[in-house]
Amino acid sequence: MIKFFLMVNKQGQTRLSRYYEHVEINKRTMLEAEVIKNCLSRSKDQCSFIEYKDFKLVYRQYAALFVVVGINETENEMAVYELIHNFVEVLDKYFSRVSELDVSFSLSEIHLP
């Protein structure tokens, strides 16, 4: 099960966050900071799957954006990795030649189920 979905830039700023289970606002900030730090500190040679606390992180980097998905232990990491890629391909087709801020602003208005 997907716990959360984040889009983050290289500076560590969250551009989009969507949670699929309740997390208190103050805990979200701390969680996002730790998750971002873990993903940004890894080299390109390292695996894109990270075991973190009681769940796993699956992330992909696209230019200046990182897409991070938090999942439970039973979820298939490769399936989520491909889901991220498909999501980004759809965004690429829908938003042609726009900046990171344009995409993040537009995505905040789209309701992800």
Single-letter residue type at 102? D
Q: What is the mean pLDDT of residues 49-69?
A: 91
**pLDDT (tens digit, 9 = 90+) per residue, 26-57?**
999 999 999 999 998 988 889 999 999 889 99
Q: What is the mean pLDDT of residues 91-100?
A: 70
User: In this model, does residue 89 exceed pLDDT 80?
Assistant: yes
Q: What is the DSSP letter of 63?
A: T
**Topology at the third CATH level for domain 2-108:** Beta-Lactamase (3.30.450)
Helices (H), the chain: 25-40, 77-94, 100-109
Between residues 63 and 78, the one the model is more confident about: 78
pLDDT given for residue 84 in this prediction: 92
pTM of the model: 0.83
Query: How far apart are alpha carbons 73 and 68 in whole angstroms?
Result: 15
